[in-house]
Structure 1
Amino acid sequence: MTLRLFYVLLFIAATLKSTAQDLHLDKVDTFVSLIENNNRGIGSLTIYKGGKSIYDRNFGQASITDKEINKNTKYKIGSITKTFTAVLIFDLIENGSLSLEDKLEKFYPDMPGAKKITILEMLHHSSGLGDFAWTEDNPDWLNQKVTEKQIFDEIKKQGLIFTPGEKQEYSNSGYYLLAKIAEKVSKKEYAVLINEKICLPLGLNNTVSMTKEAKNIYESYTYGADKRWAEVEDFYFPNTTGAGDLAATTADMLTFINSLFTYKILKKETVEKMKPVIENKEYFGMGLMQMPMRNQMFYGHGGDTKGTHSALGYNEKDKVSIAIVLNGERYSRNQFLLGVLSMMYEEDFELPIFKDVEVTRANLDMYAGNYSSPELPIEISIFYDQGILYAQGTDQPPLPLEVYDTHKYQFEQADVKLEFLPDSKQMIFKQGGMVFKMTKK
């Protein structure tokens, strides 16, 4: 579950050289210290090898003076929840209560495409259903409690955005419906199913569905112009059942994914079905997505709430698994994960350089305006409010920008970098390897 402005892929694929038998955890620790010492992130990083913990560190928590944490403090894991939901569905399939070919019509006949959409297509993000978590007229509508009927009505309103089976496009709606189907078939609430089918058998004492009252949850934070962390208004998580409502420790997350890939939850042939088919250039499988980190292939999932960003992956080649949660993010989860794995496998990685840059009101006045380029279909409006510079694409929500060098700003969560050229009234916009020179109107 994530905002959609300047959307980029969750993970970065590139060419890497090493297969590295040794894991350079001292370098990982130096990298994490760099992030912590520059107040660039709050979170937790845990690494397992062969199902055993080899690295475990919380970082940045000292910046939040009014919050006490302990080993049982849980983080919101966002869409990693979808892997848990997929496990529930495949458990029902293995015991004969469901089939991948069952139609949505069997459970919710009044849903869009119900006569055509299969369980497989909902798991596979190829159902054609939209995304109830995002509405252009009110992107924050799930921050407050809504009814199940309101969510169903929004799914119906959005209808089908493509023919079922035609292609893949990420759908929170599909996974919300899968959770509701699991409830219908089992005659039990989602939170109860998660506990009975996954948490109790695996000993996950610190994994909970926030559809019920959950305790000891670490909230999400954002860094403000006053150079302090402030709590973020996040989703009302019972609105996101099955799609993003779980909270867990990184240790529980790793126990879960190691149990999945050692076939303690589902059969081996089932886990193989869950993985994306790389030869078909699939990014999403059925509950697992590919996480290519150069030549290291991890399978797992990423998660985003309004303020917490997480990743969980398992590398079958060397039985290494990694769980990252950033509930305070000034250095993006993508780059953090890439940095950790680059350090771990001793590969090239350019360490970030952090420095304070003074920004005056005169600077902000020079940057403000509407920028366009014949190579981009949207305009980008630059404006400021209470000392914070924002970038807003046409028909998109505004992004708060952070200065990182003279005339240079970024929104790291989407890999967006802006460099202003005040003398020529131009701006260089960079994202995901693309570069555009834009001119102020």
Structure 2
Amino acid sequence: MRIFKLIKLSLLISVFPSNAIQSQEFESKIDQLISKTYTPDGPGISILIAKKGTPIYQKNYGKSNIELNLPINSKTVFQIGSITKQFTAIAILMLEEQGKLKLNDEIIKYIPEYLNKGNKITIHNLLNHTSGINGKTPISSNKLKRLDLTVDQIIDYFKNKPLKFLPGEQFSYSNSGYILLGKIIEIVSGNSYEDFIENNIFKKLGMTNTRYGYHNEIVKNRANGYQFYGKNYMNAPYISLSTQYAGGSILSTAGDLLKWQNALVSNILIKKSSFEKATSKSVLNNKQVISYGYGWYNRKINNSTVFVHGGATPGFMSNSIYLKHKDIYIIALTNCYCKKVKNIQKITYKIASLFTKNKKEVIINRVKLLENELNKWVGNYKLSNNTYIKIELNNGYLYGFNPKNKNIKHKLISTSKNDFIFENKKINFHFYISKNGSKKVKMSSGNRTLIGFEYKINK
């Protein structure tokens, strides 16, 4: 792989042997960042970075099972925790598009027993955590968290607790709200939550390594979960995944979650407008804007808009980041709930910052040249890497292109009589006359330079 990238069209490919995806320098930075945190003999991480839907970095570190000395690989299955909420939110939006519910419906329309003292809680309030419903679920109870519970039993745990605030007045992250959304999906669709997401999402997208989670099932390549106590790793305590339900029960792989992300940006499951609704910020009753939409936080990293959500269950942590304007997706899964020593959120944010660092704008001091001054550099040039570029004059500008692809031409902006820069500001040209009178060109970008000399084409 090459450190440097020129323009993304055919001239780039033919003139400089570049890698349109990733540089060694960039890959090395990520490797160093992760290897400092995850050791080969401890619980590890599966990380995937994709640009425009295609992986540009995918590596796995550490063990999926320390006792059995099994390494994490691309098929290792992790608990993804609250990233599950994205699937629940999209399922609701799918049902909205089918006309089976409305986001401003009050939840008592579907769950009549959830009266909550007459307060009007809507599906919208559940999706963006503005319902005021107490967020504690049976996972908070030492007596209940190990039991396999039905969704109704989970709802019974919190339904009579007072609201923390009136609906729409504040934001307060609530697992309980997403439990209720799962129940609504079941009522509206006529299927269990598990069957709905399996048949309408996992199977449709070919997410063959993704499922609604149960501890008692045999799951091929399932990672064991760990936590950090003092200076040692220990097996994570058991909890029933039923207590997570529609808020955190899904098991998946990094590769399958890329399929999920690609489907969302390609509008395979829902319309573009629906996905924009899910990833947009919300507004409280007092017009205050909050960063949460429906299953995604809408935030900034170095002034770049990103859609983010993480997850955590005993023994597991996850984080996903989508850089909207660069179409870059970062997903990281770990089998260690080790927040203080292995904070997966910090790692993914640092990686995202590599793509979002603000670069100083290149200011071009243009110089107007006469046609005879421009015509001086017209010709065919053979470059030092045995590739070719043709320079021609057209309507008062020089253009450069690969002779094998005359349809893609790039304008050269003059900065002096001898110096030019591609209009994309990435390649500098310096033309000059050698001692033997022949025309030559030096092309440079970053720390890479090619020298070319004019050659005559025999007609």
Preserved CA contact (<8 Å) 1:224 1:230: yes
2:110 equivalent to 1:107: yes
> Who is 2:408 aligned against?
none
- Matched position secondary structure for 1:45: strand
Q: 1:89 to 1:62 in 2, by over 3 A?
A: closer
Q: Where in structure 2 are the equivalents of 1:133-144 lying within 5 Å?
A: 133=137, 138=141, 141-144=144-147
2:293 equivalent to 1:285: yes
CA distance in 1: counterparts of 2:183 and 2:100, whole angstroms: 14
Match of 2:246 among 242, 251, 254: 242
CA distance in 2: counterparts of 1:167 and 1:289, whole angstroms: 15
Q: 1:347 to 1:27 in 2, by over 3 A?
A: farther
Q: TM-score, normalised by structure 1?
A: 0.68
> Who is 1:17 aligned against?
none
CA distance in 1: counterparts of 2:133 and 2:299, whole angstroms: 24
2:169 equivalent to 1:166: yes
CA distance in 1: counterparts of 2:355 and 2:104, whole angstroms: 42
Match of 1:78 among 78, 81, 87: 81
Q: 1:61 to 1:171 in 2, by over 3 A?
A: same
CA distance in 2: counterparts of 1:46 and 1:325, whole angstroms: 9
- Matched position secondary structure for 1:269: helix
> Who is 1:95 aligned against?
98
Q: TM-score, normalised by structure 2?
A: 0.65
Preserved CA contact (<8 Å) 1:49 1:320: yes
Q: 1:219 to 1:106 in 2, by over 3 A?
A: same
Preserved CA contact (<8 Å) 1:75 1:218: yes
CA distance in 2: counterparts of 1:316 and 1:99, whole angstroms: 27
Match of 1:300 among 279, 295, 308: 308
> Who is 2:223 aligned against?
218
Q: 1:317 to 1:191 in 2, by over 3 A?
A: same
Identity %: 30
Q: Which moved more, 1:326-335 or 1:86-95?
A: 326-335
> Who is 1:60 aligned against?
62
> Who is 1:322 aligned against?
330
Consecutive unaligned residues of structure 2, counting only runs of 5 or more, are: 1-20, 360-459
Query: Could you tell me which amino acid in structure 2 is paired with residue 303 of structure 1?
Result: G
Preserved CA contact (<8 Å) 1:27 1:344: no
Q: Which moved more, 1:78-87 or 1:254-263?
A: 254-263
Q: 1:243 to 1:65 in 2, by over 3 A?
A: same
Preserved CA contact (<8 Å) 1:253 1:312: no
> Who is 2:122 aligned against?
118
> Who is 1:338 aligned against?
349
State the Cα deviation string for residues 370-395 of structure 1 (Å, max 9, x = none).
Answer: xxxxxxxxxxxxxxxxxxxxxxxxxx
> Who is 1:26 aligned against?
28
CA distance in 2: counterparts of 1:31 and 1:149, whole angstroms: 44
CA distance in 2: counterparts of 1:347 and 1:101, whole angstroms: 40
Preserved CA contact (<8 Å) 1:105 1:115: no
Higher relative contact order (Cα pairs below 8 Å, separated by 6+ residues): 1
Match of 1:230 among 227, 234, 247: 234
Consecutive unaligned residues of structure 1, counting only runs of 5 or more, are: 1-20, 349-441
Preserved CA contact (<8 Å) 1:89 1:182: yes
Preserved CA contact (<8 Å) 2:321 2:348: no
Shift of 1:129: 0.8
Q: Where in structure 2 are the equivalents of 1:247-266 lying within 5 Å?
A: 247-266=251-270
Shift of 1:22: 6.8
- Matched position secondary structure for 1:311: strand
> Who is 1:132 aligned against?
136
Q: 1:159 to 1:278 in 2, by over 3 A?
A: closer
Q: 1:278 to 1:102 in 2, by over 3 A?
A: closer
Q: 1:292 to 1:308 in 2, by over 3 A?
A: farther
CA distance in 2: counterparts of 1:262 and 1:236, whole angstroms: 35
> Who is 2:448 aligned against?
none
Query: Could you tell me which amino acid in structure 2 is paired with residue 119 of structure 1?
Result: I
Preserved CA contact (<8 Å) 1:258 1:314: no
Shift of 1:165: 1.3
CA distance in 1: counterparts of 2:49 and 2:313, whole angstroms: 22
CA distance in 1: counterparts of 2:258 and 2:240, whole angstroms: 25
Query: Could you tell me which amino acid in structure 2 is paired with residue 142 of structure 1?
Result: K
Preserved CA contact (<8 Å) 1:80 1:303: yes
- Compare CA radii of gyration and give the structure with the larger one: 2
- Matched position secondary structure for 1:251: helix
Query: Could you tell me which amino acid in structure 2 is paired with residue 26 of structure 1?
Result: S
Query: Could you tell me which amino acid in structure 1 is paired with residue 291 of structure 2?
Result: Y
Shift of 1:158: 2.0
Question: Size of the alignment, in residue pairs?
Answer: 326
CA distance in 2: counterparts of 1:347 and 1:42, whole angstroms: 31
CA distance in 2: counterparts of 1:57 and 1:337, whole angstroms: 14
CA distance in 2: counterparts of 1:180 and 1:162, whole angstroms: 22
